[in-house]
Amino acid sequence: GDGKLKRSLVIISTLDGRISALDPENHGRKQWDLDVGSGTLVSSSLSKPEVFGNKMIIPSLDGALFQWDRDRESMEAVPFTVESLLESSYRLREDTVLVGGKSLTTYGLGAYSGKLRYICSAVGCSRWDENEPEPEDVLLLQRTQKTVRAVGPRSGNEKWNFSVGHFELKFVPEVQPGVNFLEGDLKGGGVKRDDPKVIREEEEATAETKDTVIKVSVADWKVMAFTKRGGHLEWEHQFCTPIASAWLVRDGKVIPISLFDDTSYTTRSDEILEDEEDIVEAARGATESSVYLGMFRGQLYLQSSVRISEKFPTK
């Protein structure tokens, strides 16, 4: 009912590919939890030091590649992305073939039940639970995943690979009535980029409920709520894997939660082995403070709320 429609949710995407929903007005209690079964958001063999000697290639979650020179302790953007590497008119050395792809998949689910209604991807759509007893607001989770593998053309032996992805979250507005012609969709009047005002409006919105401000600590894998008055910790939720994205869904709007208000990057020692931790600390010294360099199951990755490539020099 109406009460339900006004409930807020904190939606969290973690690097293992899962999505969780917390109830911010009930001490951060878990409302629902979803595993879409499509694997981790980041994986790579590039970040293994033995692969390329003293150079280390680190992917960011939005698909850019960075090169860390351990001798010079510098971090530089590599001027290529998944898309450009996969262009067939480009090629690397004669003895390297690139394969991979980019996929865009949408999951439609009930906002408050977390119940999956459908999955639509390149291979088709599957739907469930169509006989809903009562209608429920729908959340759209859109996952983009980009993958490249370099292989030897004769043997098919893989040399290196990386795959990066992220989720976007949308709250579905009421369906507009009207004709449904492709021409109308595709011609100038109907096709446009997102209205920047809307974007700016979203950027200005704060991740707050009535009484609390929602924060995320990427280094501690935690979501926390602080009271607006007095600023003490009201509740926190510990995740078991790193947080990739976070949103507050409130009053039918999706408000991104900034991941970088917290500048203290303590490393969870129980998940990162000692030799890996040394690597993380050394590489982190080469990054800027507002860019987070993490390690997830042995994979280095970069994470930021702005376009990372705009912040680094290109050699």
What is the distance, to the nearest Å, from the Cα of residue 147 to the centroid of all Cα atoms in its chain?
15
Residue linked to tokens 């439609």 = 108
Question: Minimum Å distance from CB 164 to W ion?
Answer: 23
Closer residue to a second copy in complex, CB, 90/206: 90
Closer residue to W ion in complex, CB, 149/297: 297
Closer residue to a second copy in complex, CB, 28/108: 108
Question: Minimum Å distance from CB 16 to a second copy?
Answer: 18
- Given a second copy, W ion, none, residue 38, with its beta carbon under 5 to 8 Å by kind, binds none
Question: Minimum Å distance from CB 284 to W ion?
Answer: 22
- Given a second copy, W ion, none, residue 175, with its beta carbon under 5 to 8 Å by kind, binds a second copy
Closer residue to a second copy in complex, CB, 192/232: 192
Where residue 10 falls (left for φ over 0; alpha for ψ -120 to 50; beta otherwise) is: beta
∠ at Cα 100 (44, 293), nearest 5°? 25
Q: What is the SS3 assignment for 296?
A: strand
- Given a second copy, W ion, none, residue 168, with its beta carbon under 5 to 8 Å by kind, binds a second copy
Closer residue to a second copy in complex, CB, 2/183: 183
Residue 162: CB atoms within 10 A of its CB come to: 25
- Between CA 46 and CA 23 the distance in angstroms is 38
Q: Are 250 and 209 in contact (CB under 8 A)?
A: yes
Residue of closest CB approach to W ion: 240
Question: Minimum Å distance from CB 23 to W ion?
Answer: 24
Question: Minimum Å distance from CB 64 to a second copy?
Answer: 12
Per-residue CA distances from 32 to 21, 50, 113, 128, 175 (Å): 5, 41, 7, 17, 26
Question: Minimum Å distance from CB 277 to a second copy?
Answer: 24
Question: Minimum Å distance from CB 270 to W ion?
Answer: 7
Q: What is the SS3 assignment for 137?
A: coil
Closer residue to a second copy in complex, CB, 130/274: 130
Site for W ion in 217-276 (CB under 5 A): 240
Q: Are 236 and 29 in contact (CB under 8 A)?
A: no
- Given W ion, a second copy, none, residue 197, with its beta carbon under 5 to 8 Å by kind, binds none
Element (H, E) at 81: strand 74-81
- Given W ion, a second copy, none, residue 253, with its beta carbon under 5 to 8 Å by kind, binds none
Q: Are 112 and 136 in contact (CB under 8 A)?
A: yes
- Between CA 254 and CA 251 the distance in angstroms is 9
Closer residue to a second copy in complex, CB, 155/264: 155
- Given a second copy, W ion, none, residue 20, with its beta carbon under 5 to 8 Å by kind, binds none
- Given W ion, a second copy, none, residue 260, with its beta carbon under 5 to 8 Å by kind, binds none
CA dihedral in degrees (26, 30, 32, 36; nearest 10)? 150
In the complex, the residues that contact W ion under the rule CB under 5 A are 240
